[in-house]
Amino acid sequence: MRRSLHPSAFVSPGAVLGEGVSIGPCVVVEEDVVIGDNCQIHAFASIKRYTRMGTGNIVHSYAAVGGIPQDLKFAGEVSFLEIGNNNTIREFATMHRGTDGGGGSTRIGDNNLFMAYTHVAHDCRIGNGVIMSNNATLAGHVLLQDGAILGGLSAVHQFSRIGRYAFVGGMTGVAQDLPPYMLAVGDRSGIHGPNIVGLRRLNVPVTTVAAVRAAFRVIWLSGVPRKEALARVEEEYGHIPQIQELIAFVRESPRGVLAAAARHSGNGAAD
């Protein structure tokens, strides 16, 4: 399939474009950029130096992809933004490349949706099937695991982790780690309970949903010391993969996990 380049676009001779790439009006593609097959770059978008992009990605108008980090320690070193396949990057979204302090790259997986005005800062790690709603923002070095959803106007503190299929509500500030399958809402968020909707979308058995509910009650609501609570959950439900993942995430948290919200549903549910 042939490439399509609008005559008003500027594409550096040092950029590498795959087959079937479409470049719209007034797009800027800088040198040292690689754009994979069948990507679409819409009008007025910019793809900055040292961006590596896989196949089937769509970058909408006025998005700025691969800009230099907003990090005062950045000294102009060569670093990268690495984007996988089949991602949709909507209008005015921004994504920055990495720094030496974060391993030299920002990495984004496959099949993610970045809605308008979202921001991915330097050295973030984003998995697959993630949704960042309008104006959601990641600070530097954030880990966003597979299937996580961030509501509009939410913000995640630097070095924090959002676990698999966790849900962050709109206008929520996340200052510590949010474990997998959990739901956080609030100005300075707390965990309201399991992300029941997300678990149902995964088609997990009802017994697994019940185990996640029970784990939430023991770990966050029982008042038992964290180490003992994790041991109790592991003893009773450790044979369930989702519980194993939840326990490992909490134990390995370098910043500590969020506490339970001041108000929750009482039974650990988040229906």
Q: Cα separation of 2 and 264, whole Å?
A: 55
Q: Cα separation of 260 and 253, whole Å?
A: 16
* Residues paired with residue 94 on neighbouring β-strands, in sequence order: 64, 119
Catalytic site residue from 54, 96, 119, 123:
123
Neighbours of 209 (CB within 10 A): 18
Q: Cα separation of 180 and 192, whole Å?
A: 13
Give me the DSSP letters along 84-119.
-SS-EE-TT-EEE---GGGTSEEEE-SS-EE-TT-E
Residue 104's nearest CA partner among 82, 120, 131 is 82
123 is known as an active-site residue: yes
Burial of 144 by CB count in 10 Å (0-12 exposed, 13-18 middle, 19+ buried)?
buried
Catalytic site residue from 96, 119, 122, 192:
122
Q: Could you tell me the strand order of the sheet in which 161-162 lies?
A: 16-17, 34-35, 51-53, 80-83, 105-108, 125-126, 143-144, 161-162
Which H/E stretch holds residue 215?
helix 206-216
Catalytic site residue from 66, 84, 140, 163:
140
Residue 68's nearest CA partner among 45, 95, 87 is 95
The residues assigned a catalytic role are 122-123, 140
